[in-house]
Amino acid sequence: MTEGGVDWNRVAKAISQQACVKLESDFIERLKELAGICGKASVNRVMLTRVGALLLKPDAPLVVPICHKYNRSGAHNMLTGNVAPIARAHIEFLAKVQRWFPDVYPIFLYSVQDAEDPMVLQSVGFDVAEFRRRMKKEMEELRRELADTRWRVATMTEIFPDLREREQVLQASVAKDSRFEARITSIAIDRADFFERAHCRSTEEMKRHVVAMAAQYLALSECSIAMGGGIVNHTSTNLAWYREGGATLLHNPVTTA
């Protein structure tokens, strides 16, 4: 039975084998509904098998990185003490996910370590202290908004204490892997606005920044797998790094403002 380019019989069989359980009669129908609101990065047999196996778990953790668009115009839409537009988009998406799979456990993650990145600070026009103050305020506002749920808001390193160490190892690995050269160049070009505002004109510096960003996505993939969870992320060229890292991905088909 193929629908939307997906062989659902094969998906059902693969999920059942991977999870070593017999699926409830309505499970695949609920998974189809979920696939209907996901972006294309999630709608393929391999990813739907991963997603399905994850959603069979009680309290399936879904980490939700809150990715801001770091430029001066974007800075005034973020870190203002209000909930970021991308966070609201993920809240709406996850509310739909819970219609079919009510036991998922979302964890919204903020990258406070971005305050250590000179390019990010230059692009938004904040110093370290102001950046951290604004992000903390935004996190507090999101916690208030989610107070009636059991959803969590935290920093990436609070949930994954070894994240930075993983990033360092992966950064070296990505930098020397020739398979990624074209992708890194493409992402650097795609982020031209960011680099312009960061006053970065060195191609090598741009690529190093993209490599560091790729390492974070790969490290999050490793960490999510280690915790037995999945990742929710918006549309981005960086989704390819999650696939590379073997993560279970729920692609929310929205973009950052």
| pLDDT value for 72 | 46
Domain boundaries, the chain: 1-56, 57-252
Give the mean pLDDT of 130-141.
92
What would the mean pLDDT of 129-134 be, rounded to a whole number? Answer: 90
CB-CB contact of 229 with 54 (8 Å): yes
Distance CA 121, CA 115 (A): 7
Q: What is the mean pLDDT of the chain?
A: 91
As given in the structure block, the two tokens for residue 208 are 């190093």
**Any idea of the CA torsion for 161, 116, 234, 214, to the nearest 10 degrees?**
-80
Residue 209 is predicted with a pLDDT of 92
Q: Say what the pLDDT of residue 74 is.
A: 47
Q: Which CATH class is domain 57-252?
A: alpha beta
Look at residues 125, 252, 253, 238 and name the one whose alpha carbon lies nearest to residue 190. 238
pLDDT tens profile 147-180: 999 999 999 999 999 999 999 999 999 999 999 9
Is residue 80 very low, low, confident or very high in pLDDT (cuts 50, 70, 90)?
A: low
Looking at residue 255, what is its pLDDT? 84
Pick the range with the lowest mean pLDDT from 100-104, 175-179, 192-196, 239-243: 192-196
Q: What Å distances lie between residue 139 and 38, 40, 106, 147, 194, CA to CA?
A: 26, 29, 15, 12, 23
DSSP for 58-85 reads TT-EEEEE-----SHHHHTTSSSSSPPH
Q: pLDDT for 172-230, tens place per residue? A: 999 999 999 999 999 998 888 888 888 888 889 999 999 999 999 999 999 999 999 99
pLDDT in tens, 32-78: 999 999 999 999 999 999 999 999 998 999 999 998 766 444 444 45
Asked if residue 115 has pLDDT above 90, the reply is no
The alpha carbon of 78 is separated from its chain's Cα centroid by a whole number of angstroms, namely 17
Residue 72's CB: how many other CB atoms inside 10 A?
A: 12
